[in-house]
Structure 1
């Protein structure tokens, strides 16, 4: 089963990421989520690492929230088209946008590394693509948090890492 994770950087971030930041960690986090979920067929996810200004625009335009945020998920949850028949390739699951400025600020706030925060936000966004929603209520929030922490532990990035 092949999963595809496409990662791109917004132009304004080119050359501004620290050289020790491994973007492969984003891919590892997403693949760990897929591996831990039963029945996940081959799928494709796009990831955009951007800044606060860009994610603010996305948040305003797509969610009606006029503020930056740390991560947004855009699931491909539309009905199957009668005109396009899926082949044997991976199913497009959706896109995730992560603000690198929020990564740095939240890592400092929570006392862990930017790498851990980046992996956490990739995990969080992927779980949203799979239907997890912490805003539905306390039970759903607890289920999502458990999945996040399980994946982070599997990556060796438990709290404090």
Structure 2
């Protein structure tokens, strides 16, 4: 079982939509063999807030759709905390709700399909997937498609 902390700063995602995202993430976690009890947070923000985060952490001064911060990666000078029964904290996924609406319209699919896509994209980043090379991008995007189709969120 995955433990998900939803934080909706913009009051832009209904309780039903959050439940659907939870089910989607539970399926993704199962498909990716994520250990039971793993934790993550999923935060919904506006374009201004995601632009601040993008500028501060990625040196890109523009709004983006999704940003992930993986907790399992050790940063320079960080010390690993080891203990029995410590939960696996995957990290944080931050999604811009205005960007989600914009992209759903641009791609001609539902808000929920785009939100699901961005959630799975962010989740896979937490698990170490990336799209820096053509090969990595193919692996990540193929896996996203498999998860979304297995759940039933099609374009």
Normalised by the length of structure 2, the TM-score is: 0.89
**Corresponding position of 2:147:** 151
**Corresponding position of 1:9:** 8
Question: Would you identify which runs of 4 or more consecutive aligned residues in structure 1 move more than 4 Å?
Answer: 18-21
Gaps of 5+ in 2: none
Gaps of 5+ in 1: none
Q: Tell me, in whole angstroms, the C-alpha distance in 1 between the residues paired with 2:24 and 2:48.
A: 25
1:84-122 deviation per Cα after TM superposition (whole angstroms, max 9, x unaligned): 433324310100000000110000000110011111100
Which residue among 77, 89, 92 is the counterpart of 1:92? Answer: 89
SS at match of 1:134: coil
**Corresponding position of 1:139:** 135
- Measure how far apart 1:60 and its partner are: 0.3
**Corresponding position of 1:101:** 98
CA RMSD of superposed structures (Å): 1.9
Q: Tell me, in whole angstroms, the C-alpha distance in 1 between the residues paired with 2:87 and 2:24.
A: 18
Q: Tell me, in whole angstroms, the C-alpha distance in 1 between the residues paired with 2:51 and 2:134.
A: 27
Would you say the 8 A contact 1:3–1:90 is kept in 2?
no
**Corresponding position of 1:116:** 113
Query: How many correspondences in the alignment?
Result: 151
1:32-83 deviation per Cα after TM superposition (whole angstroms, max 9, x unaligned): 2211114x2131011101110000000000001000000000011127846x
- Measure how far apart 1:20 and its partner are: 8.4
**Corresponding position of 1:31:** 26
2:60 is the alignment partner of 1:61: no
Q: Tell me, in whole angstroms, the C-alpha distance in 2 between the residues paired with 1:64 and 1:18.
A: 28
